[in-house]
């Protein structure tokens, strides 16, 4: 089974955002990338892109499927599957 065809794992997916400063996500299968402005997550609900400023991953438990991000959250956006987006390297060099 190729990377793009892997079934989603990570349990039930939910989001909790408190005052745009603390985001808790469940159902996280993988963290594809992160920096202070963007966090890209593969969740059981789809690929989630978190955008903001001064973002930090404070808690990460892939085994438990939970992630906590702090900083100022400006947007939460779901994208289609990884196969349609391409990989990280194809987005950087493509």
Q: Provide the pLDDT for residue 80.
A: 73
Closest CA to 65 of 7, 12, 5: 12
Instruction: Give yes or no for a contact between 50 and 36, defined as CB atoms under 8 angstroms apart.
Output: no
Q: Provide the pLDDT for residue 9.
A: 53
Residue 65 domain-assigned (yes or no): yes
Instruction: Give yes or no for a contact between 65 and 14, defined as CB atoms under 8 angstroms apart.
Output: no
Domain carrying residue 29 = 3-81
CA–CA separation, 63 and 25 (whole Å): 13
- Predicted confidence band at 83 (pLDDT cuts at 50, 70, 90)? very low
Residue 89 domain-assigned (yes or no): no
CATH code of 51's domain? 2.60.40.2000
Q: What is the pLDDT of residues 7-24, one digit of tens each?
A: 445 579 999 999 999 999
Residue with tokens 């939970």: 66
Residue 23 domain-assigned (yes or no): yes
**Top-confidence range, 1-5, 73-77, 90-94:** 73-77
Residue 13 domain-assigned (yes or no): yes
Residue 87 domain-assigned (yes or no): no
Q: What is the pLDDT of residues 30-44, one digit of tens each?
A: 999 999 999 999 999
CA–CA separation, 2 and 53 (whole Å): 34
Residue 88 domain-assigned (yes or no): no
Can you say whether the dihedral through the CA atoms of 2, 92, 48, 24 is positive or negative? positive
Q: Provide the pLDDT for residue 66.
A: 95
Q: What percent of the chain has pLDDT over 70?
A: 74
Number of domains in the chain: 1
């Amino acid at each position: 089974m190729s990377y793009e065809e892997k079934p989603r794992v990570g349990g039930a997916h939910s989001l909790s955002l408190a005052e745009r400063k603390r985001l808790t996500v469940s159902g996280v299968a993988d963290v594809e990338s992160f920096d202070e402005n963007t966090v890209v997550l593969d969740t059981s609900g789809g690929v989630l892109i978190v955008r903001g400023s001064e973002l930090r991953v404070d808690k990460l438990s892939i085994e438990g499927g939970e992630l906590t991000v702090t900083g100022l959250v400006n947007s939460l956006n779901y994208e289609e599957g990884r196969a349609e987006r391409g990989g990280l390297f194809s987005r950087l060099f493509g």
